[in-house]
Amino acid sequence: MVGYKSPAMTETTPLIFPALGPLYQALAPWAEAFLRAVVGLALVPHGLRMAFGFFPGTGGPIRDLKMMAQALDRWGYPPGRLWAPLIAGTQLIAGPMLALGLLTRVAALPIVIFLLVSNVERWRVGGWFWNTQGLEYTLMWTAGALYFLVNGGGTVSLDYLIGRAF
């Protein structure tokens, strides 16, 4: 049976339309890179809003690290003065690194940890649905980040370009 082997798989997946196999193989590394870019870059606006007050009409009233630290303390995550800059660094440094596929697994680790904690908080606050501030959105984001923590950056990444499998 004709199949398709994705970059992250060790076995071939059977195809309903075998003629599409070469197309899937050609597009797979680019689809993986697109997913990596979306997962990494989606963090950046959140970091810009939290650390520097960008996008003031969105989300909560937090506009700087001091406000974020106070909120973290209030929410039961002391010491906020430690966590606020670490969260901002995760979003503003590790996010773009993941997007570029630069030290991919190293960048994905703090992102996955941050998102796992976020999932717990989102479940506590809003349950499941994203429109009630639930964990639906952050869980999807976590799944994407976890994929790159496990599989690395792929063939369309800076890691691959410099010959390192981070």
Domain assignment present for 57? no
Over the stretch 22-81, which tens digit does the pLDDT of each residue have? 998 999 999 999 999 999 999 999 999 999 999 888 877 888 999 999 999 999 999 999
Name residue, tokens 């993986």: 32
Q: How many domains does the chain have?
A: 1
This model's pTM is above 0.85: yes
What number of other Cβ atoms are within 10 A of residue 99's Cβ?
23
Is position 146 within any domain?
Answer: yes
Distance of CA 42 to the CA centre of its chain: 7
> Do the domain assignments include residue 127?
yes
In a domain, 27, yes or no: no
Position 141 in a domain: yes
Residue 23 inside a domain? The answer is no
In a domain, 52, yes or no: no
Percent of the chain with pLDDT over 90: 69
Nearest residue to 133 (alpha-carbon basis) of 141, 142, 143, 123: 123
Residue-number span of the structural domain to which 158 is assigned: 62-166
Q: Is residue 71 part of a domain?
A: yes
Note the pLDDT of residue 89.
96
